[in-house]
Amino acid sequence: MGTRALRDGPLLIEDDLHSVYLAEKEWLFANAREAVSVSLPEAAEAAAEAALRDFPEPKQLAWTQFNTPKERKLAFDVVEKLPAAARDVLYFLNSRPMLQFLEDLTGIQGVVSDPYYVGGGLHQIKPGGNLEVHADFNYHEKLKLDRRINVLIYLNKDWKEEYGGHFELWNRDMTRAEQKILPLFNRCAIFSTTSYSYHGHPTPLACPPERTR
């Protein structure tokens, strides 16, 4: 892999991600928050299409509902109960090839995936929903390990700028967004998990009533 560690600055990838989900040349990078976003290639797009077709509607699962001023969203982390296509994408994200890719990408060795998907799995936000700027927990109590990397994949077909829902990465004193990433279909965002990796989408979602993010 022709990579430079994520923590060292803008990232360049010259290879194909061990022939798995690899990136074309569209890169967005936020130096302050150490994040990169990439559009995945055709092989990954087929998997994303299948996952989107299987993606459960808000009424189809016993989603965990968050409904406070700070966050209005749905989450589901019982991965084995998901439809096959969505489940397989999540299983892949915890697989050895993906871990090897993340090690090459970030320079962090010995990356361990989370079989419990704590804070992971599927997330869905309905119109008007939001996620205030925050930093995620960075210690996994069950595994007794530091949580180092977040990987997000978006499945929003034909998503328009005016719908909002940008993934925002903020500076350490939380005074401004350093990076805004539109949640386009088949886009992957990867960022460091630290006590100051502030992120969210604080502006309420403005997509049509039949859409979710």
CA 73/CA 89 separation, integer angstroms:
21
Q: Is 180 part of any domain?
A: yes
What is the per-residue pLDDT for 38? 60
Domain carrying residue 17: 6-201
* Per-residue b or e along 14-32, where b marks 16 or more CB atoms closer than 10 Å to that residue's CB: eeebeebbbbeeeebebee
In a domain, 179, yes or no: yes
Tens-digit pLDDT string for the chain (213 aa): 233 333 433 333 333 333 333 333 233 323 334 456 665 656 678 888 999 999 999 999 999 999 999 999 999 999 999 999 999 999 999 999 889 888 877 778 899 999 999 999 999 999 999 999 999 999 999 999 999 989 999 999 999 999 999 999 898 899 999 889 899 998 888 888 889 899 999 999 999 999 999
Q: Is residue 161 part of a domain?
A: yes
Residue 29 included in any domain:
yes
The token duo for 208 is 């049509």
Query: What H or E segment, with its residue span, contains residue 134?
Result: strand 131-134
Q: What is the tally of structural domains in the chain?
A: 1
Q: Is the pTM of this model over 0.85?
A: no
Query: Which residue has tokens 């998503």?
Result: 159
Would you say residue 127 lies in a domain? Answer: yes
Cβ(190)–Cβ(149) below 8 Å:
yes
Between CA 201 and CA 133 the distance in angstroms is 7
Q: What is the CATH number of the domain that holds 98?
A: 2.60.120.620
| Residue 1 covered by a domain | no
Task: With respect to residue 144, please indicate whether it lies within any of the assigned structural domains.
Answer: yes
pLDDT of residue 127: 97
The full DSSP string for 37-61 is EEE--HHHHHHHHHHHHHPPPTTTS
Query: Is there a domain that residue 211 lies in?
Result: no
CA dihedral (129, 156, 17, 54) positive or negative:
positive
